[in-house]
Amino acid sequence: MTNLVEMQLDVSPGDVQERLLDVARRHPLARVAWAGGEVWLVNDPELVRLAFRDRRLTKDAGAAPPWFTDVTGLIGSTQTSRAAEMITSEGAEHTRQRKLHAVVFSARNRERWQQLITEIVRDLLRSLDGDVDLVSRFAYPLPVAAISAVLGLPPDMHEPLTAACRLLTYGADDAERERGRAQLYGGVGAFLGPRRHELRPGMIADLLELHDTDGSVSTVEIATWTPGLVVPGHESTTSVLAALLADVLAEPPDRRPTTAEEIEEHVERALRLHPPFPLATWRFTTSPVLLQEHEIPAGKPVLLNIPAANHASPPTAHYTFGHGVHYCVGAALARAELRIALTEFLREFPDATRTTGETRWVSGYAIRQLTSLPVRLTPAGDAA
């Protein structure tokens, strides 16, 4: 019988990653009390890999047991339980949606996004000087500006999107999280209606063009997909970028990355060591699932322990973007954003230094982020 482990998955204050690494050292598979029932937590790296690829573990919220309550807000709401949401779709419907997303995230479009991201990064860096907090001044505003540009939303949406994401991710209760969700979906959805004339070139306009030309995507799907990209495209990149900058600034200036290959290595290391979503989104067993000698019964909610898999020794491919058919469709864009941000930051401030030594994390149900990153900035060429 798999052990019932006493642990809280909603840790605040505290660092959920440390707790997840600790439980993984003791339990390859664990049962955790949750909302009047139990969820199964997969911890062993090899079991995590197998679970990602096992089609008996579905992301369809309709397979959840009757007692299940999703207090994370990731699935089960009126927005995200719709079949139109790619993250909870399966089979042929999931394949159709991924193909449509692939058109938007094509190589040609990625080049366009990278140019936009480079401009955003340089504008933000020009506003920095002296003693600043890199989380609030750089790591947080960059991703919301970038995802807005990718979607084709005007700059006046940056503040409303930030406020909505904060409520949805860190809201004190269900009512606050629902308010954030409504603000997010309503704010983005307005650009399919009364504010459509304000759209800039981007994903929403591209999808609307597909709708208008061949009907391969519905307006309901666009209204569901596009807000659903904001939180993972914003909060997750903020988390990894802050961790990446903190790790690089812990190194002496003469040992910091200078080449494209070294930048790439640091980005991948940060993705591995600091996954922004410590637990992969919900899965449910449609029948008994045997992972090596460990069996999960049918009808059970399942969470996958990403830090435990990523911190395996010897290192294997990391699972920060998932694995298998649900691998993150925006992974290439996220990597580009991190590479551009680090490259431009080190070019502008090669001698930047931390002004405090302590690194503090905040953890919600679904996200892990640095609370702040105070630094002293000296522009290139200004060092004494």
CATH of 4-377, one of 2.40.37.10, 1.10.3720.10, 1.10.1740.10, 1.10.630.10: 1.10.630.10
Q: Which pLDDT score is estimated for 81? A: 47
Q: Rounded distance, CA 35 to CA 64, Å?
A: 13
Q: pTM for the whole thing? A: 0.90
The pLDDT of 145-170, averaged and rounded, is 89
The pLDDT of 129-138, averaged and rounded, is 94
Q: Rounded distance, CA 233 to CA 143, Å?
A: 7
Query: Is residue 308 over pLDDT 90?
Result: yes
CA dihedral 61, 63, 68, 70 (to 10 degrees): -10
Beta bridge partners of 31: 4, 40
Q: 209-253, pLDDT tens digit by residue?
A: 989 999 888 888 888 888 878 877 788 999 999 999 999 999 999
**Strand, coil or helix: what is 282?**
coil
Q: Rounded distance, CA 16 to CA 368, Å?
A: 8
Q: Which two tokens stand for residue 256?
A: 């910091």
What is the Cβ-side half-sphere exposure of residue 365, based on CA atoms within 13 angstroms? 20
Q: Read off the pLDDT band of 34 (50, 70, 90).
A: confident
Q: Read off the pLDDT band of 381 (50, 70, 90).
A: low
CA 236, distance to chain mean position in Å, is 3
Q: Which two tokens stand for residue 84?
A: 């139109």
What residues contact 154, with CB distance under 8 A and at least 6 apart? 148, 198, 200
Q: Rounded distance, CA 137 to CA 300, Å?
A: 42
15 contacts 363 by C-beta, under 8 angstroms: yes
325 burial (CB, 10 Å; 0-12 / 13-18 / 19+) is middle
**Strand, coil or helix: what is 382?**
coil
The pLDDT of 58-70, averaged and rounded, is 84
